[in-house]
Amino acid sequence: MKGKILIIEKDDTIRTLLKMHLKSSGYNVNESSCFNQGLYSLNDNSYDIIVIEITDISKEDETILKQFKNENFKSRPLLVGVLKSASQNIIEQSISLMTLLDRFIVPPFNFAEFIETIDQMVILRSKIKV
């Protein structure tokens, strides 16, 4: 087992594809369709990485993302944001978002690159022992 991943993605098809590729690469994967379910899951589980959908960023979204970095959870996973293609400028416009995400991916991407990014993040997390 390479590590434990939580996927938070509203789109069932995308969530299923991400889960399938992560599992076939040796990861233990849990999934959620919304931020609140993801936060709830963090109370009971430790994760290495959270792969999280970012469609737009509001003050409310920033507040929710900050909660994923809360020290009261069992672990402090690294956050990988999957941006929707139309929202690439979100990163450029939001310095606070840059500080909340440990890495971001902008579609379209191929799954080999996605898995390589996750592999690198798990290695990084093991070195910094978050």
Q: How much is the pLDDT for 78?
A: 77
User: In this structure, what are the phi and psi dihedrals at residue 101, rounded to the nearest 5 degrees?
Assistant: -95, 135
pLDDT bucket at 31, cuts 50 / 70 / 90: very high
CATH fold, domain 4-128, is Rossmann fold (3.40.50)
**Which has the higher per-residue pLDDT, 4 or 103?**
4
Residue (of 102, 60, 48) closest to 79 by Cα position = 102
Segment of 7-11, 20-24, 65-69 carrying the highest mean pLDDT:
20-24
pLDDT tens digit string along 42-67?
Answer: 888 888 888 988 766 666 677 777 78
pTM: 0.83
Helix H segments across 9-128? Answer: 12-24, 35-44, 59-67, 88-93, 95-100, 111-128
Per-domain residue ranges of the chain: 4-128
pLDDT digits (tens, 9 = 90+) for 80-108: 777 665 555 665 666 566 677 788 777 77
Q: Read off the tokens for 93.
A: 């416009």
Q: Does 16 score more than 90 pLDDT?
A: yes
